[in-house]
Structure 1
Amino acid sequence: FLEDGRAFALADFDHDGRLEVFLKNRNGPQLRLLQNVMKDLAPSIAFRLRGGKSNRDAIGAAITVETGLGRQTRMLQAGSGFLSQHSKEVFFGLGEATGPVRASIRWPSGLVQELHDLPLNHRVWVEEGTAPSRFEAFKANPQGLKPSSFGARGGTAEAVPLPKTSLRDSDPLPANVETWLLVPVAAPDFSLPVLNGHARTLAALRGKVVLLNFWVADSTICQQDLKVFNRLHARWATQGLRLLTVNLDDPADAEKVRTLARDGHLSFPVVQGSDDLAGTYNILYRYLFDRHRDLSLPTSFLISGGGEIVKIYQGSVNPDQVEQDFRHIPQTAAERLAKALPFPGVSDTLEFRRNYLNYGSIYFQRGYLDQAEASFRLALHDDPASAEALYGLGSVYLKQEKSSEARESFERATRLQASYPDTLANAWNNLGLLATREGRTAEAIPYFQEALNLNPDHLIALENLGNAYRQQKNWDEARKLLERAVAVGPQDAEANYSLGMVFAQLNENDRAYEYLQRALKARPGYPEALNNLGVLYLRTRRRDDAVASFEECIRVAPAFDQSYMNLARVYALEGTPDKARIVLLELLKQHPGHVQAQTALQQLQ
């Protein structure tokens, strides 16, 4: 709301068991009532208490409600809102509970009162020390409220009769919504086949205004839009608007989509969507607005010649509106402000921006690396001194195994001032990781140390530095670092595994067992830990445990080759080459060109 809100209070105004919100504003309207009209809420129960020996309002009483699903406790409090007071009724949501409710009340006087067989969806009146005096069922059909001039000048406003229809029926959400963006957002590019098999890219239309439409075959609204597009797309093209539609049906239904296109004589390009494209645009859509929602279909995006989304159409497309919009795309911030906001205004200090750093992070977490890279580049363009944008770019390149680009990005990030505490530590750690991958362990160690100078409890840097010392066979330093790592992250599988391997090298078998078992407890399907635990069992002459560990590793990680090789060696040393051969053949099913397995098979013949 636009008003300057100062206080709010919660109360069940219409006695339907649902709390309403009362908003008190400094300016008008000074009081706003938000009615709760949510459908299909779970059952609930409410209590009204009156003290006898305790204070009359029972402030400080604690009510505990028990159902078959569990127990919950609430206290009756005063002064629960700024310059306001919530209703002194105490409400409990009961989830999926179906049977009667039990309750106990601890009154401020110390008296504990037990109540049994309380009905669901009722308001219960209780006076201290006596049985409930009244039960009132919640109203089944809450009525909507008409606007009223509460607090109007000249005394109390007239009572407004409740209408006969619920707000749920009279005020449905609009099916079609059009939104101009205050700040355009770059449209993610894609390269996908159209129904005739030729690839189509969004970038190929750069320089032209594009209406990008997402649809599914079973939607009546989508089918109506396709008919409109078929009638108008040629005219739009001559006027400068290109149409590109994307079908997001399951690929298994591709033939149904082709049939629809053939029977409808669709003459405009229909792109066969993919999970990645749907995921990319869903993320884009979710984070365009404060109310994060998944992309609904149909939805269309108006894209400027510069490749930026300037307007979004949710629901059916109004072709007349589209024609007007693409001819009058705003070019300046003032023009965008005038179109995007429902009222004129003046703003000398407020600047609207798109958070591409946030987009890049979300795309990266979801595995959409190309879009993450594009977003981090845009974030860096907006703020060339952003260490976070450079770190994000480096992380993308690291995933893409572009080592030189990743190194350059991380090095540039370390020379900047970071906005988040671990950005620089992470960048130094990743520089060390790159050096380790390339076999330059001695060069990696100072990078990890720089990360730990910035954050002594940086778990990954502790693990990486400890493992670097392991590679150098500097067991004492490795043990110290990895013990610190385990202290920081006691449930971290990697830290426990690495420390267990150090103790195995030091022939401290009991401690090696302990930490390998901890690693497996943290990650039960950890193949390296299972395999090396089997090796440790062999070293301590526990043959059956070793075989069981190798077999478990093969079961949970059939692509991990070392357990096959170790199990085959056990059978070969025991003089059972047939068993060894079976194990090696199973390995070759997973890795047909495995040289060691082929060599071992030849040696068994």
Structure 2
Amino acid sequence: MASRSPTESGPTDGYVRGWVAMTQLMDTGWSWSGHERDVSFLNLKDGTFADVSAVTGLDFEDDGRSVASTDWDGDGDLDMWLRNRSGPQLRFLQNNAGGERHSIAFELSGTTCHRDAIGAVVEVSVGDRRWIRTLMAGDGYLSQSTKRLYFGLGDASRVDRVVVRWPGGDPQTWIDLDAGSCYRLMQGSTAPTSTAFQPFQMDAGPPPPAVSDAARVVLRTPLPLPDTLLSGLFGKSNRPTARLVNLWAQWCGPCIGELKGLAAAHERIDAAKLEIVALSVDKPEKHAAALATFNEVVAGLGEDRRLKFRTADEATMETIDAVLRHLLYKPGETPLPTSLLIDSDGAVQVVYVGPVEMGTLLADVEEYGFKPVPAATRGAYPGRWYFGIRRDFGSLADELRQRGRVDEARFYDALVQPGRDGDASK
């Protein structure tokens, strides 16, 4: 990765190429660190460190980013949370190595200094042994460990002396404190309060979900689609409808099963005002077989059904593939079936990779098909977002232009906000 020169007025070619390469790694899901294992070192207290990565089990081949320590299980020793850029995105490591050894912890509260006492230095003495910790706010990249200061005491069950050097204030001393508790030390007070460590048995938790390529992706910011694409798929319509583009092939078993589910729910689909195009991505020589398969599925529904058959020409698939790459950051062939839920204004709201359950689809139509939904309440999981996501319309336009889709590229060029490096949020 090239760094930007402090003397240049603009970025160098090497700097730009480095960022492009890193972005491509991120978009395609590759590791930034080349599967380099995590490393853990033990302070030998003689000015040297020992590599204990394998012994401790911390040598994960993850694309690690952050680590935070806290006494999660209440037993007085520090457990660890690891955060990775790629999966598994979160690991919990429970510390069960304490045995019969003792520990003590402190919570600091400032009065004349600031309340959290950030920057305070705590010194713990047992005989001729001494430990020193500094209270920090943010002790790693994108992470914050507990603000309690923990000290491992080995076989010592009691602390002879604790000295706190408060920020901007005089040092303060407490003596003869028992191990096995967390003490709250308040600046200026000589009487600490304590709470004994209360370890609890942690449940194993639910089993991890089964690995699946299926996904439901609710877009934080909907993506408008060009009129050339929509009219080519659905034709011109004066009635407000939500629309679903279902990519399928006659050789794809899950695709046929999904089509049968859509056909069986035609009355519910009609009531939801949902227009569906079953877009066959079969090769031209297979179009007749695809149509025959589709007709078998929809037999008896009538010509006014909302489930229509279309075949995908090369131009249509180039546009859809570029859109899916932009939305999912997933190169390669599009998995089948894949569907796009489009609202009545012509913007993609939800992407389904794999068969979609009918109840989920109809609920999404009701939620996203006809009315604006603020970014704060959008998402496939419980929670609240406080910001949308800016869309790089400029890059999408460039991708379409490279594929020869000039009209579609102009559509997204028109959405680029000047002075925003090709990004736009609407």
> TM-score, normalising length from structure 2?
0.49
- The structure with the largest alpha-carbon Rg is 1
More strand by percentage: 2
